[in-house]
Chains A and B, each alone.
Chain A
Amino acid sequence: MTAQIVTANRLGDGAVIYLGRDDIWGERLGGAAVARSQDEAAALLARAEAPAHRTNVVGPYLMDVIDEATAPRPASNRENIRALGPTVRSDLGRQAEIPGRR
């Protein structure tokens, strides 16, 4: 099975966020908890949909990632753009905070 993580948007500002290993949502995809089986993915999504998250998270869903040793990477163009920001404005989105990407 393709490795998966859970992503969503933050309620207050709509920012792209990922569910971390400690059940805390963060903007860093690299800090996301990775599911490597269908059971793990279902459990991860169930954690993301827990009532405690509903006041700060919108629309959690599983996304495919390339499971690399250092950190997961988005498997799709769409999720890559969500993770970094618009490809036409390197000054916007998370990419603006990554040294060397602007």
Chain B
Amino acid sequence: MYRYDEFDHTFVEERVAQFREQVARRLSGELTEDEFKPLRLMNGLYLQLHAYMLRVAVPYGTLSSQQMRKLAHIARRYDKGYGHFTTRQNIQFNWPKLEEAADILAELAEVEMHAIQTSGNCIRNVTADHFAGAAADEIEDPRVTAEVIRQWSSLHPEFSFLPRKFKVAVTGASNDRAAIKVHDIGLQMVRDARGRAGFKVIVGGGLGRTPLIGETIREFLPKRYLLSYLEAILRVYNELGRRDNIYKARIKILVKEIGAKAFAEMVEKEWQFLKDWDVDLPDEEFARIQAYFAPPPFDDLPAVTASFEAQRFENRDFARWVRNNVDAHKAPGYAIVTVSLKPEGGVPGDATAAQMEAVADLAARYSFDEIRVSHEQNLVLAHVRQADLYAVWQGLIAAELASANAGLISDIISCPGLDYCNLATARSIPVAQRISRRFADIERQHDIGGLKLKISGCINACGHHHVGHIGILGVDKKGQEFYQITLGGNADENAVLGRIVGPAFSYDTVVDAVETIVDTYLGQRRNGEAFNQTLARVGFDPFKEKLYAPH
């Protein structure tokens, strides 16, 4: 993991001291709310429905056990005993007090964390594949790139007041687990004809009010030009992105309006000007950062672990959990564990302080002291020996974190919705809870197979509903909550936006509608087709007929 150097430490500590003084000036009345609001937002402190909300950055979703224990401590000491892991791999605390906000930031600084770049029209916290450094299909660990971008973008003087917020996602693998095509910039590591690693550069993706899949503007960018090329993109956006209309201010609108080809030409022209100006990282500095992400000291193990295979054979529940929550690791004898934060009837992404500590303990003991937060609102232990999987599973059972549902219908992405969020127009969490209860039978979930269900409580789409196989968008219609359903979306390397199936459903009927969709899929499915494959073959009509048939 990356460790702060003296400059990082000094910078974060100075920032805490500045904010402490700013809070004192606000509380004394010296600063008005209009003056103070941008200052608190630059430190991740929002004001939501019930209270302040502190969004803490988890760079590229990677945490040490020590950091996770600190988050648990903050949840217990300053909040109400829990935290909420978000679709941007961050964590939010829903009940902090302004009076204690600087104390929280000081506690975070002790473990090399902060809340900078979690708000405002800047380059936000960079996200990455949550299987980074462990995935078998990876070219290189994308977190090196993400950390380089983090250092370059933090308080970048030219890009701190962009037309709108700016999100970058990176994957080092061919299978996209980071949803890079729905980010302002998506970077995918690829190799050129000579085998050299570089990036495919995708620009202009995004969800929200105007959902768009990103366009590839460069098939191969040599690694050494990463920062100059990003700077060229940001410069074109910063100059031409709209500032007169918040709904048209994201880069996706600019790319759509002028066209990806024209945008790419502008970027290339700017890049030709920039690329020899020492914007790029010197090789030795890149190597310094890369060293922090060196693979952990894996033991030389056989690919198959006999004790693990025996445990899996003897215990059906364990086998079921392994089947869904354990993925192949690039190192023989190791595995990747997804810790589901989606228990039956639970709040997607929420974890209690005790659960955070339990995961921290398991990571310290079994996964080289490292934890990941996924954009699907789960946690990941990335480097577990197969021989330790049973013990990890036992530990997760004790912490009530052993739901064997990763990737299944109850592994729902859900934004906080109207239960917490100031922007929301409808509740999303209780819909997720009701769906997870309706499909509680794990055998039934396995029969349905992999199915991504995503729920947003407003058009801003923090719950990624456009790219769910089944997407649900909560809307307000004359004071009543209604839910619009989209089908056929996908967030991976074949990203596509779902299409609305028909008129919206009420709060009371939306779960029945989801069940009807699933039953229709099962009735139409052939030869183990995935949901989107069946949908592509049969079209929307069978679903519409069942959903809107007169009773």
Residues of A within 8 A of B (CB): 9, 11-16, 54-55, 58-59, 75-78, 81-82, 85-89, 92-93
Contact between chains at A88 and B419 (CB < 8 Å):
yes
Question: What are 30 pairs between A and B in contact, CB < 8 Å?
Answer: A9-B51, A11-B27, A12-B27, A12-B97, A13-B97, A13-B99, A14-B48, A14-B95, A14-B98, A15-B50, A16-B49, A54-B29, A54-B32, A54-B33, A55-B27, A59-B47, A77-B479, A77-B480, A78-B49, A81-B419, A81-B427, A86-B420, A86-B429, A87-B427, A88-B419, A88-B427, A88-B429, A88-B433, A92-B80, A93-B50
- Complex Cα spacing A12 to B26, Å: 10
A15 to B80, CA, bound (A): 14
Residues in B whose Cβ lies below 8 Å from that of A76: 479
Say whether B52 faces chain A, with CB atoms less than 8 Å apart.
yes
Given contacts A14-B48, A55-B29, A58-B47, 17 further A-B pairs with CB under 8 A are A9-B47, A12-B99, A14-B97, A14-B98, A15-B51, A16-B50, A77-B481, A81-B49, A81-B427, A82-B50, A85-B50, A86-B50, A86-B419, A86-B429, A88-B347, A89-B347, A92-B50
Asked if B430 and A88 sit within 8 Å, CB to CB, the answer is yes
Q: How far, in whole Å, are A15 and B99 apart by their CA atoms in the complex?
A: 12
Q: Closest Cβ of chain A: how far from B43's Cβ, in Å?
A: 15
Which B residues touch A93, using CB under 8 A?
Answer: 50
Find chain A residues with CB under 8 A from B99 CB.
Answer: 12-13
Chain B neighbourhood of A85, CB < 8 A: 50
Which residues of chain A are near B49, meaning CB under 8 Å?
16, 78, 81-82
B315 at the interface (CB under 8 A from A): no
Q: Hey, which chain A residues are within 8 Å of B479, CB to CB? A: 75-77
A58 near B33 (CB under 8 angstroms)? yes
Contact A59 B98 (CB under 8 A): no
A14 neighbours in B (Cβ, 8 Å) = 47-48, 50-52, 95, 97-98
- A54 vs B29: C-alpha distance in the bound complex, in angstroms? 7
A55, A58, A75, A88 — most chain B CB neighbours (10 Å): A88
Assembled-state Cα–Cα distance A88/B350 (Å)? 12
A97–chain B nearest beta-carbon distance, Å: 13
Which B479-520 residues have C-beta < 8 A from chain A?
Answer: 479-481
A82 to B47, CA, bound (A): 12
B353 on the interface (CB 8 Å rule)? no
**Least Cβ–Cβ distance between A33 and chain B, in angstroms:** 22
CA distance A85 to B48 in the complex (A): 12
Name the distance in Å between B432's Cβ and chain A's nearest Cβ. Answer: 9
10 smallest beta-carbon distances between A and B, as pairs: A14-B51, A55-B29, A86-B419, A14-B52, A13-B97, A88-B429, A12-B99, A82-B49, A88-B419, A58-B33
Within 8 A of A (CB), among B28-59: 28-29, 32-33, 47-52
Q: From residue A9, how far is it (CB to closest CB) to chain B in Å?
A: 6
**Chain B residues numbered 450-492 whose CB sits less than 8 Å from any CB in chain A:** 476, 479-481
Q: Are B433 and A55 in contact (CB under 8 A)?
A: no
CB distance from B75 to the nearest CB of A (A): 13
With both beta carbons as reference points, the residue of chain A lying nearest to B29 in the complex is identified as: A55
Least Cβ–Cβ distance between A39 and chain B, in angstroms: 26
Within 8 Å CB of B47, what residues of A? 9, 14, 58-59
B52:A81 contact, CB within 8 angstroms = no
Q: Judge whether B418 is part of the interface by a CB distance below 8 angstroms.
A: yes
A11 to B36, CA, bound (A): 11
- Residues of B within 8 Å of A81, CB to CB, are 49, 418-419, 427
Q: Tell me the nearest residue of chain B to A79, going by C-beta.
A: B49
Considering the chains assembled together, what is the distance between the CA atoms of A15 and B33 in angstroms?
A: 16
Chain B residues within an 8 Å CB radius of A75: 479
How distant is the Cα of A62 from the Cα of B429 in the complex, in angstroms? 27
Q: Complex Cα distance A82/B409, Å?
A: 30
In the complex, what distance in Å separates the CA atom of A56 from the CA atom of B50? 16
**Nearest B residue (CB) for A75:** B479
Residues of B within 8 Å of A86, CB to CB, are: 50, 419-420, 429
Residue on A with the closest CB to B51?
A14
Residue of chain B at shortest CB distance from A94 = B50
Using Cβ atoms and an 8 Å threshold, which residues of chain B touch A87? 419, 427, 430
Collect the chain B residues with CB atoms within 8 Å of residue A11's CB: 26-27, 33, 98
Q: Is the CB of B32 within 8 A of A13?
A: no
Structural contact, A12 and B418, CB atoms closer than 8 A: no
Q: Which of B98, B427, B476, B480 contacts A13 (CB 8 A)?
A: B98
- Provide the residues of chain B in CB contact with A88, threshold 8 Å: 347, 419, 427, 429-430, 433
Kindly report which residue of chain B lies nearest to residue A9, judged by CB atoms: B47
Residues of B within 8 A of A59 (CB): 33, 47
Per the bound structure, the CA–CA distance linking A48 and B186 in Å amounts to 46
